[in-house]
């Protein structure tokens, strides 16, 4: 993957890419909250070399501009990603859009707002859905909001212990991470924590929290949902909510897998994506032959 920068007015996007656009759709990948474009590398290595892949740093993350004036709501992020797409002329022909968690929230709303840009969609345990009952994680968040203990958001660790708790929350597999490594992981994040807090409060605000839910019936392209059955952050029943609202929808539930699907099951995720693209595009080809 080569790293590049592109500008929209005074706003900088950082992205990595491999291959170039050809007869197969390009693939744009949107990462989750507090991650960055490199989180996709574990999946990318299992994807065919002839695909044109683009992984972008989401607004305020890694090499993409972080500005106090930026609109970090889901709508604001969708507009930013659209600017990025236009800068690269990625939508010259419709592309395949993949997003996970917060990136899945943005990807789903993007497909609803810009239907002609997207030929197919893959949502990996996306945020943005309204559940009839809250899971433990959401209950805990609501308690924190009520008590104004916003320094204690479980996804924004500031000590090695909190880092360890976050890894356990996000992953089904329990690995023992040495204290030194945990400290290193936290040290990298601490300078960004005030931004992460601001972003987190924005995406769980009334304006953004259920954006995907409110727009899912506008998604008309073939859609694949991938979800870990043991996801403790966003409950797997979200897959069913989406499947009921999106007409052309395939659901893949992964056993013994938590919220970090991309990290926990990269080979399986890549295979599901490849198979889905083949099924969508081969039916397109068959239609042309009839």
Domain boundaries, given as residue ranges, for the chain: 2-133+209-289
Do β-strands 11-18 and 53-56 pair in parallel, antiparallel, or remain unpaired?
antiparallel
CB-count exposure of residue 100 (10 Å: 0-12, 13-18, 19+)? buried
Indicate whether this model's pTM tops 0.85: yes
Q: At what angle do helices 102-113 and 74-88 cross, to 10 degrees?
A: 70
The single residue of 70, 231, 235, 260 carrying the catalytic annotation is: 231
Q: Could you read off the pLDDT of 175-209 as tens digits, one per residue? A: 788 999 999 999 999 999 999 999 999 999 999 99
Active site residue 34: no
- Side-chain-facing half-sphere of 272: CA atoms under 13 Å: 23
In this prediction, residue 141 carries a pLDDT of 85
Which residue among the candidates 34, 101, 164, 171 is catalytic per the annotation?
Answer: 101
Q: Is 61 a catalytic residue?
A: no
Name the pLDDT band for 150 (thresholds 50, 70, 90): low
Whether 101 is a known active-site residue: answer yes
Tell me the three state secondary structure of residue 50. Answer: coil
Q: Could you name the CATH architecture of 2-133+209-289?
A: 3-Layer(aba) Sandwich (3.40)
Which uninterrupted H or E stretch holds 27?
Answer: strand 27-30
Q: Which of the residues 52, 61, 96, 259 is marked catalytic? A: 259
Q: CA dihedral defined by 111, 66, 33, 146, rounded to 10 degrees?
A: -110
**pLDDT tens digits, one per residue of 219-274:** 999 999 999 999 999 999 999 999 999 999 999 999 999 999 999 999 999 999 99
């Amino acid at each position: 993957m080569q790293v590049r920068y592109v500008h929209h007015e005074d706003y900088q996007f950082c992205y990595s890419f491999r291959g170039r656009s050809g007869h197969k759709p390009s693939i744009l990948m949107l990462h989750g909250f507090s991650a960055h474009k490199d989180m996709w590398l574990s999946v990318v290595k299992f994807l065919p070399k002839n695909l044109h892949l683009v992984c972008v740093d989401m607004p305020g993350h890694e090499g993409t501009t972080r500005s106090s004036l930026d609109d970090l709501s889901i709508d604001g992020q969708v507009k930013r990603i659209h600017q990025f797409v236009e800068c690269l002329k990625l939508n010259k022909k419709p592309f395949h859009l993949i997003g996970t968690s917060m990136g899945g929230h943005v990807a789903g709303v993007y497909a609803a707002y810009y239907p002609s840009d997207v030929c197919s969609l893959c949502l990996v345990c996306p945020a943005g859905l309204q559940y009839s009952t809250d899971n433990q994680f959401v209950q805990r968040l609501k308690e924190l909001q009520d008590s104004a203990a916003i320094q204690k958001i479980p996804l924004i660790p500031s000590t090695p212990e909190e880092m360890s708790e976050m890894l356990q929350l996000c992953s089904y597999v329990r690995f023992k991470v040495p204290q030194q490594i945990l400290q290193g992981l936290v040290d990298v994040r601490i300078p960004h924590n005030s931004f992460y807090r601001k972003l987190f409060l924005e995406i769980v605000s009334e304006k953004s929290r259920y954006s995907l839910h409110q727009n899912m019936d506008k998604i008309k392209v073939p859609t694949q949902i991938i979800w870990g059955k043991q996801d403790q952050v966003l409950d797997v029943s979200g897959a069913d909510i989406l499947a009921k609202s999106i007409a052309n929808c395939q659901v893949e539930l992964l056993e013994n897998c938590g919220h970090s699907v991309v990290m926990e099951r990269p080979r399986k995720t890549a295979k599901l994506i490849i198979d889905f693209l083949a099924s969508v595009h081969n039916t397109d080809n068959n239609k042309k032959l009839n």
